[in-house]
Structure 1
Amino acid sequence: MALPGMAILVFLIIWQAAVKGSGIEKWILPAPADVVQTLFSMIPGLAPHVIQTAAEALAGLALAALAGVFFGIIIDLSKWLRKAIYPLLIISQTIPIIALAPLFIIWFGFGMFPKILITALVCFFPIAVNLADGFRLADKDMLKLMKTFRASRTQIYMKVKFPHALPFLFSGLKIAGTYSVMGAVIGEWLGSDKGLGILLTRSSQSFLTDKVFAVIFIIVLLSLVVFGVIEGLARLAMPWRYAQQKYEKY
């Protein structure tokens, strides 16, 4: 953590010196000190916006996790299902979210629900694909042994496939977690009365560039918090994996 922190500090110092030395207008590119000052002035009114975006992001991520696990299992059940569904999953990711978002607003209104759907669509793909790959790469010898003992399909999944696929699942969740806040913000761009997305839109339209940078900082911080929560859940769900990684360092 020390090296990234030093790199960020050097970057901020160069940014501050470049802006102050060039005399560039604040509305074009504010100095880091101006962004920090604006951020502190925004704190009293930030809570409703942060809570709204966080709620949309977490709800969308939870919905994406449920759908991702469901489709990950469906894909794994049969090679024919995999051939039928996998291309559809890929196609779903080629459609620009910014094009789908207005349709969700038209169909479902301006409440939280369309933002949750947009977030779920953004987060769904990495969870489903990573989990399906984890199932597919499960230990073949263990699977043969379970079949020899006439284990049921549920027992095979619970005893072999899911434990093996957990690292893949959490890898997908970490990727999706960083996308979740972005998905909520995109949904808020198109219509909302609260949230970091609408705050960002209003600031940019008013040429309050220092406020834009401050909101971006909050979005990044919120994404890191979501990532940290998922990392903590991964450590609780897979203590053996992190113990092994710690042992391998020595």
Structure 2
Amino acid sequence: MDIADVSRAAARGLKRAAPALVSVILILLGWEVYVDLSGISATALPAPSRVAEQGWQARAVLAENALATLTATLSGFAVSLACAFVLSVAIDFVPLLRRALFPVFVISQTLPLVAIAPLVVLWFGFGLLPKILLVALVTFFPMLVALVDGYEATDRDITRLLRSMGAGRGQVFWRARLPSALPFFFAGLRISITYAVVAAIFAEYAGAARGLGIFILNAKNNFRPDLVLAAVFVSSALTLALFALAVLAQYMSQPWRRA
């Protein structure tokens, strides 16, 4: 794929995103007008202009904490992807593992993060490890389910054709089942990546030295809702950027869909 293809894809993406951008702008304008007309205190509801101004003034601290959150997010998500892929392959080759492990994974998703996060921080300290574990816990199961369902969606005629040509179980997996799972994988990727940043911030909120979670906690304790909202906007920007990267990765890795 050349630069022209990327440019055309970006233009189509911007065109599709235009309605959402207009909606966001209208919401911000309405918010600004309401604050101006109502006379509400800035300590209760700061205007978007004040949030932007104070966020810009605190940009160095915000950037430092955002980098810490992004590091925890990407590290935890990488662990989640690796574990989900390895286990999905094991489940595909040994179906008994699905009946043995899936109930455990389902139970892990029912655990309230608000209760688990402080315990994980208590057990593993205030470093990077508890953030990685919590992000992996939150994002692991959607990726695993997406991959396993993707393998099962493989066209049976392709499987029979490969086996008639002498392909073994491993060759069928790599040549048919894994490519068939790609659309499912990227659907799970887009879902999971939106949870990853939130999980990292929640883990920091439970206990950390740096990160947007700590920044939000300190701003809240100092009665600075403008800085709280600035950090929220930064976290939203991180989530949207990671989501866009997931969409771009899907576009780049599946040329047959572009065709």
* TM-score normalised by the chain length of structure 1: 0.93
1:27·1:208 contact (CA, 8 Å) conserved in 2?
yes
CA deviation after TM superposition for structure 1 residue 236, in Å: 2.0
Q: For the aligned residues, what is the CA RMSD?
A: 1.3
CA deviation after TM superposition for structure 1 residue 165, in Å: 0.4
AA matched with 2:161: L
1:75·1:86 contact (CA, 8 Å) conserved in 2?
no
Question: What's 2:232 paired with?
Answer: 216
CA deviation after TM superposition for structure 1 residue 76, in Å: 2.2
Question: What's 1:25 paired with?
Answer: 41
Question: What's 2:4 paired with?
Answer: none
Question: What's 2:3 paired with?
Answer: none
Question: What's 1:36 paired with?
Answer: 52
Partners of 1:198 and 1:140 in 2: CA distance: 51
CA deviation after TM superposition for structure 1 residue 5, in Å: 1.4
SS in structure 2 opposite 1:46?
helix
Question: What's 1:161 paired with?
Answer: 177
2:92·2:151 contact (CA, 8 Å) conserved in 1?
yes
Please list the CA deviations of residues 179-199 of structure 1 after superposition, one character each: whole Å capped at 9, or x if unmatched: 111111011011112111100
1:75·1:81 contact (CA, 8 Å) conserved in 2?
yes
Q: 1:79 to 1:44 in 2, by over 3 A?
A: closer
1:85-234 correspondence runs (5 A): 85-234=101-250
CA deviation after TM superposition for structure 1 residue 139, in Å: 0.6
| Correspondence for 1:72 among 56, 81, 88 | 88
SS in structure 1 opposite 2:45?
coil
2:84·2:143 contact (CA, 8 Å) conserved in 1?
yes
| Correspondence for 2:62 among 43, 46, 57 | 46
2:43·2:224 contact (CA, 8 Å) conserved in 1?
yes
Partners of 2:165 and 2:98 in 1: CA distance: 27
Question: What's 2:99 paired with?
Answer: 83
Partners of 2:235 and 2:202 in 1: CA distance: 12
SS in structure 2 opposite 1:192?
coil
Please list the CA deviations of residues 113-139 of structure 1 after superposition, one character each: whole Å capped at 9, or x if unmatched: 110110111110110000110001111
Gaps in structure 2 of 5+ consecutive residues: 1-16
Please list the CA deviations of residues 177-224 of structure 1 after superposition, one character each: whole Å capped at 9, or x if unmatched: 111111110110111121111001111122210111100000000111
Partners of 1:149 and 1:98 in 2: CA distance: 53
SS in structure 1 opposite 2:223?
coil
CA deviation after TM superposition for structure 1 residue 230, in Å: 1.7
Partners of 1:213 and 1:86 in 2: CA distance: 38
Partners of 1:152 and 1:98 in 2: CA distance: 47
Partners of 1:75 and 1:93 in 2: CA distance: 19
CA deviation after TM superposition for structure 1 residue 78, in Å: 3.7
Partners of 2:94 and 2:157 in 1: CA distance: 19
Please list the CA deviations of residues 143-201 of structure 1 after superposition, one character each: whole Å capped at 9, or x if unmatched: 11222223122211110011110111111111111111111101101111211110011
Question: What's 1:247 paired with?
Answer: none
Question: What's 1:12 paired with?
Answer: 28
Gaps in structure 1 of 5+ consecutive residues: 245-250
AA matched with 2:242: V
Partners of 1:45 and 1:6 in 2: CA distance: 30
The aligned length equals: 243
Which 4+ stretches in 1 moved above 6 angstroms?
none
Partners of 2:25 and 2:160 in 1: CA distance: 54
2:62·2:231 contact (CA, 8 Å) conserved in 1?
no
AA matched with 2:126: F
